Amino acid sequence: MDFLVVLVSILTVALVFVLWIRKKHAFWKELGVPYVEPHFFYGNFKDVDQYQHDGQFIQRFYRKYKGRSPLIGMYTFLKPVAIAIDIELVKNILIKNFNSFHDHGTYYNEKDDPLSANLFNLPGTKWRQLRHKLKTAFTTGKVEMMFTTMWEVAKKFESKIGEACETGGEFHNRKLMTRFTVDVIGSCVLGVEANSLEDENNGFFQVGMSIFHNPRHGMRFIFLLNVFRDYARKLRFKLFRDEVIEFYTRIVRETVDYRLANHIERNDFMQLLIKLYTSKGEDKLSFNELLAQAFVFHIAGFETSSTTLQFCFYELACNPEIQDRVRNHIKEVLENHNGQLTYEALMDMKYLEQVLHETLRKYPPIGLLPREASQDYKIPNTKCVLKKGINVIVPAYAIHHDPEFYPNPSRFNPDNFSEEAVKNRPSVAFLPFGEGPRICIGARVGMMQTKMGVIAGLRKFRYTLSPRTKQPLKLLSKFNVIYPEEDVWLNVERID
């Protein structure tokens, strides 16, 4: 009899549990929103980081449901997630109704992992206050002051490409581009000489690369942390590995202490952070706040620019006529500026900008832009109300590959960003840096260093694909930042 009671009790609990799960997964059905049938436990993200890059994963559903509904419903484990399909809804979320979607809804733990409490992750008032403090670092004047420092590193980058010409005429695309951007951002953000171009075994390069290529958690676990943020903080989960936290804490602490002790000032991002750190007013930053912002601008600055350069040089190697056109364009603009690369000359290189925008269109650094409803929000022209706390995803990768906005989207075509083409397309159809008040604050710095990388790399050299590069190029599924799955090798020859 006791055994039967226990068995009935277990079956009853199991049944209640199953019914509870099914009730959770009935959320979108009850709202009358088209939805993707979820896995019992994982929801719709079971295969994320296994088979497809997350941007391509969502693209399948974007294509299927576009025109049928302004949004579709999915689930991260048990939590409902809305995927914005209609371009006007995307504009509302990012710009028009920003106050209803001002947070990313991502996990951070400022107590145990100070690096995670950065501008990207912080919500609401914390984000607004911090953004206000930091915006003066990215005015046109401040960005222009970084020009000389960036170009000095770019010339070293050019020399490294020249060395590759002399030692076999082939190089590993990712490593060289990342070494360049690590050195640029190290100088302009942290104010330190990383010297990755000279020594790829140094700490900046190795630790920086490990953040993305050897993360503490996989994508599915990151989704889990985002869903159960409060519980994760109580359990003291960290986003970054301990050695990463220790490395950046030491480097930033040494830099701050050295500058303060020796009264050293530089025209870089670190100087602004130090000024806020030593201030007495309401703009004052704690050391952990300074640390988190120095960290995020360093890793975001070098990694997104590095991937853009990698894909740009890959596409130029695949499209020699575009490569020749942009090289000739660079030379013509330089001739109009007495052969000197100045900030003004850089701004005049319109076709170079088109090439980089097309690279960012085809390979956006982040394929999905997360948002979280900060208040109840009624979807225009529907009866659907997104409740406060619902996560919303803007599928940037899918939008960038939508033939409505970009004819033949798999083709690399810089004319997609001619003045006329841009005018005839919704502004939110191009989202490499996000859009609206939460657009990437350092976008202009990233574009400037990327332009310099292309100029330094193209002026004197021509590129073709090495036979070691596998075609067609596939995207790595393990990370939300976009990478090629296989190593890309390029042949290079000197043409000056």
Q: What is the CATH classification number for the domain harbouring 242? A: 1.10.630.10
pLDDT score of 50 more than 70: no
Read off the pLDDT of each residue in 276-290 and give the average, rounded to a whole number.
88
For 376, residues 6+ apart whose C-beta sits below 8 A from its C-beta are: 385, 386, 387, 388
Q: How confident is the model at residue 53 (pLDDT cuts 50, 70, 90)?
A: confident
Helix (H) or strand (E) holding 172: strand 170-172
pLDDT score of 369 more than 60: yes
337-363: per-residue pLDDT in tens? 999 999 999 999 999 999 999 999 999
- The token duo for 435 is 């859009």
* More confident site: 477 or 151: 151
pLDDT score of 219 more than 80: no
Read off the pLDDT of each residue in 249-268 and give the average, rounded to a whole number.
91
Phi/psi at 432 (nearest 5 deg)?
A: -70, -25
Single-letter code of the amino acid located at 462: R
Q: How confident is the model at residue 386 (pLDDT cuts 50, 70, 90)?
A: very high
33-45: per-residue pLDDT in tens? 998 888 777 777 7
pLDDT score of 65 more than 90: yes
4-13: per-residue pLDDT in tens? 766 666 776 7
- The token duo for 133 is 């403090």
**Which pLDDT does position 372 carry in this prediction?**
95
Instruction: Enumerate the known binding-site residues for heme.
Output: 440
How far out from the chain centre does Cα 450 lie?
14
The whole-angstrom separation of Cα 425 and Cα 404 is 9
**Which pLDDT does position 48 carry in this prediction?**
64
- Cis peptide bond prior to 472, omega within 30° of 0: yes
The whole-angstrom separation of Cα 196 and Cα 360 is 25
pLDDT score of 432 more than 60: yes
112-161: per-residue pLDDT in tens? 999 999 999 999 899 999 998 888 778 888 888 889 889 999 999 999 99
Residue with tokens 């994760």: 232
* More confident site: 272 or 22: 272
pLDDT score of 299 more than 90: no
**Which pLDDT does position 49 carry in this prediction?**
60
For 391, residues 6+ apart whose C-beta sits below 8 A from its C-beta are: 76, 79, 80, 81, 82, 105, 226, 370, 371, 372, 373
Instruction: Enumerate the known binding-site residues.
Output: 440
82-92: per-residue pLDDT in tens? 999 999 999 99
In percent, how much of the chain has pLDDT > 70? Answer: 95
- The token duo for 80 is 């409902």
pLDDT score of 484 more than 90: no
Helix (H) or strand (E) holding 490: strand 489-494
Single-letter code of the amino acid located at 268: D
Strands (DSSP E) along 41-162, which ranges?
71-76, 79-84
Single-letter code of the amino acid located at 231: Y
**Which pLDDT does position 71 carry in this prediction?**
95
222-257: per-residue pLDDT in tens? 888 888 899 999 999 999 999 999 999 999 999 999
Residue with tokens 């590069």: 469
- The token duo for 128 is 């607004």
- Domains in the chain: how many in total? 1
Lowest mean pLDDT among 95-99, 177-181, 187-191: 187-191
**Which pLDDT does position 18 carry in this prediction?**
67
For 17, residues 6+ apart whose C-beta sits below 8 A from its C-beta are: none
Q: Can you state the percent helix, strand and coil of the chain, rounding each to 5?
A: 55, 10, 35
pLDDT score of 476 more than 60: yes
391-394, strands of its sheet edge to edge: 71-76, 79-84, 391-394, 369-372
How far out from the chain centre does Cα 128 lie?
20
DSSP β-bridge partners for residue 394? 369
Domain that holds residue 478: 2-494
Q: 3-class DSSP state for residue 328?
A: helix
Read off the pLDDT of each residue in 266-275 and give the average, rounded to a whole number.
86
Read off the pLDDT of each residue in 412-424 and give the average, rounded to a whole number.
97
**Which pLDDT does position 313 carry in this prediction?**
96
**Which pLDDT does position 37 carry in this prediction?**
86
Query: Measuring CA to CA, which residue among 455, 453, 459, 450 is closest to residue 495?
Result: 459
